[in-house]
């Protein structure tokens, strides 16, 4: 399952919260982030409990370009998480959206 940057931005701006799992390395997360839980892909498999969300929760997995998050999505699905979406194009796609793009 995928979510595009435009729809993701709409969800970010909505009043209900969303569960974001950022799988970039810690230095990337601390340099620029939009919130969520940071569990780098490099340790995700061995630290799956660090995800911190229920296996039935919707989780949107993000990274810089959408490649690591796609891998993380597969790892989560293999470990019983059943509502995992990958941000297509990653944070780069989100940053490329024109300001105010929500529709």
What's the structural domain count of the chain? 1
Q: Is residue 49 part of a domain?
A: yes
The reported pTM is: 0.92
Cα–Cα distance, 74 to 66 (Å, whole number):
13
Report helix, strand or coil for 88: coil
Range of the domain at 15: 2-96
Q: Residue 5 in contact with residue 96, Cβ under 8 Å?
A: yes
Q: Is residue 55 part of a domain?
A: yes
Cα–Cα distance, 77 to 73 (Å, whole number):
6
Task: Return the CATH number at 28.
Answer: 3.40.250.10
Q: Is residue 19 part of a domain?
A: yes
* Spans of the chain below 70 pLDDT: 100-103
Q: Is residue 102 part of a domain?
A: no
| pLDDT attached to residue 10 | 95
């Amino acid at each position: 399952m995928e979510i595009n940057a435009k729809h993701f931005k709409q969800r970010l701006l909505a009043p209900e919260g969303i569960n974001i799992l950022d799988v970039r390395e810690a230095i990337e997360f601390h340099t620029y982030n939009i919130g969520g839980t940071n569990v780098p892909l490099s340790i995700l498999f061995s630290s799956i409990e660090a995800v911190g969300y229920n296996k039935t929760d919707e989780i949107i997995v993000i990274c810089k370009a959408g490649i690591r998050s796609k891998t993380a999505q597969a790892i989560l699905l293999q470990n019983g998480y059943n509502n995992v979406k990958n941000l297509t194009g990653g944070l780069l796609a989100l940053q490329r959206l024109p300001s105010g793009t929500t529709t």
